[in-house]
């Protein structure tokens, strides 16, 4: 993550399903940094949307993605399935892709 990025969700790590802290972006875009290791599958899902979760690569490679949205409260969760996986997620304001 860039040192000067405004953090919306501080780095959070776990090995199970977990709701991330709710946040409201101050721009119309935010960046998610995620990584995981292990044999399971990890995905990030919107708690308020029935759409498909977004997968996180579980091979030690960092996944970085931007989400374009309205400045409304965001309620995300991390889902683990198919085995054991340790994951890390952080979310920052704006388009902060490397």
Give the chain's length.
98
pLDDT digits (tens, 9 = 90+) for 43-69: 999 988 877 899 998 887 888 999 999
pLDDT given at position 58: 86
The topology (CATH level 3) of 7-93 is Jelly Rolls (2.60.120)
DSSP state of 4: T
State the Cα–Cα distance between residues 69 and 15, nearest whole angstrom. Answer: 28
pLDDT given at position 21: 97
DSSP 17-58: -EEPPPB--SSSEEEEEEEEEESSEEEEEETT--SPPEEE--
User: Within the chain, which residues score under 50 in pLDDT?
Assistant: none
- Cα dihedral 50, 41, 21, 88 sign: negative
> Model-level pTM?
0.90
């Amino acid at each position: 993550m860039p040192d000067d990025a405004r953090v919306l969700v501080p780095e959070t790590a776990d090995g199970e399903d977990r709701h991330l802290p709710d946040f409201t972006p101050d721009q119309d875009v935010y960046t998610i940094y995620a990584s995981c290791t292990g044999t399971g599958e990890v995905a990030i899902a919107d708690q308020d949307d029935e759409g498909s979760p977004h997968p996180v690569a579980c091979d030690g490679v960092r996944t970085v993605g931007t989400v374009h949205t309205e400045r409304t409260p965001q309620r995300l969760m991390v889902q683990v399935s198919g085995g054991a996986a340790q994951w890390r997620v952080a979310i920052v304001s704006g388009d902060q892709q490397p």
